[in-house]
Amino acid sequence: MEKFLVSIENLDHYARGIAHLDGKIFFIENALVGENVLACVDKSKKNFLEGHSTDIKKSSIERVEPICPYYFLCGGCSTMHMNYESSLRFKENKVKEVLKKFCNYDNVKSIIPTKGLYYRNKVTFQVNGELGFYKNKTYDLVEIDKCLIADKRINFVIEKLKKLDLTLIDKIVVRTTKNEMMLILYTKKVIKLNINDFNEFDTIICIADTKYILKGKGYIIDEINNLKYIISPTSFYQVNTEGMINLYDKVLEYCDLKGNENVLDLYCGTGTIGIYLSKYAKKVFGIEINKEAISDAFKNKEINNLNNIEFKSGDVKDVLKQNKFIPDIVIVDPPRAGLDKSVIEKIILLKPKKIIYVSCDVVTLARDLNLFKENYDIAEVTPVDMFAETYHVECVCVLNLI
């Protein structure tokens, strides 16, 4: 395969190096700004090229040797070849660039860091005769013995999981909280398991044609700042507990609750943000389409003895049409695709004094902020590092009614 010597001018939003070759933009994996690298072209399109570096001729001072032996094969991490401070700067700059370009907005605060390793409380292992992760941009399996961004307790059970009869297993999910662990086996049919061999796990679930609880109560409980959260097998829960606390503390700060506010929590999941805010608010009302998540939300309300929070299951845009709850503050934490235009229109009609937008994709955040801008000022945006060693970045944005 032919190699080309190129100079890296910048990084794209996926942490790939940007160079130019034959009049085309060349996106190069594992390359940093200021480096001269030998690179191969993996894909050629009309206006751009994609490839990877094979040899670093001039190295950046920000470059470090990845400590993960699978880094250049597995698609899970993307910034482990740069030091952590550089990865934070990359993410902060990405947020600034996108919001400046699409919103003409530049009041982005310093990114809130997290620990770089062993932070993930949930890991999904793919199974295809072996146990591991998919190779980057493929369905080729990379067998692994450890994952350096996963909770250490997850790493301790990998060898035991690899000794299972994997024939009927499609994937394995391990979830952890402060004191508990859950094992979820996605299988072609119900399998037999000697649960005495898996004492590390508080609950074990097999999901085939339906859900079977093989051990325990079928969920685990996390505890954060004296609040308890039930986590079921498929319910959404932030994968970085430390990062989640950083995120929710920033949401709480931006809400600036005085105790007499009604808070509308859209895409509320298991009610985590609303419950986190509830003791500071008059009333919280959460909406979520995932029925298992809403079931957990009601359980979370009960175990925390809360009487000022309610939940409704359904599509946010449909529930809002019948909504009679008048909020002072609206919190949105939508999927990566962002907000449906009809949801934005309905929020504007409700005229909350403040909107707190939690986003896992700054591009869709920027798109949505433009739809709010005639009615709301962007007061402040804070990036939060929830996914260390990857190009992903979370944002918390506060909007004030004009």
> Where in the sequence numbering do the catalytic residues fall?
360
User: Which DSSP letter does residue 306 get?
Assistant: -
8 Å CB contact between 355 and 330: yes
First to last CA, the chain: 58
Secondary element (H or E) of residue 295: helix 291-303
111: burial class by Cβ within 10 Å (0-12, 13-18, 19+)?
buried
Question: CA 318, 219, 310: angle at the middle one, nearest 5?
Answer: 35
CA dist list (Å): 319 to 169, 288, 313, 337: 38, 9, 8, 19
Any idea what the Cα angle at residue 324 is, between residues 318 and 327, rounded to 5°? Answer: 100
Which tokens in the block code for residue 155? 């790493």
Q: In b/e form, how buried is each residue of 217-239, taking b as 16+ CB within 10 angstroms?
A: ebbbbbebeebbbbbbbebbbbb
DSSP bridge pairs for 55: 38
3-state secondary structure of 388: coil
Pick from 112, 94, 341: which is nearest to 243 by CA?
Answer: 112
Q: How far is CA 37 from the centre of its chain?
A: 31
> Which class for 131: exposed (0-12), middle (13-18), buried (19 or more C-beta within 10 A)?
buried
E-strand ranges in 8-65 read 10-11, 17-21, 24-29, 36-44, 48-58
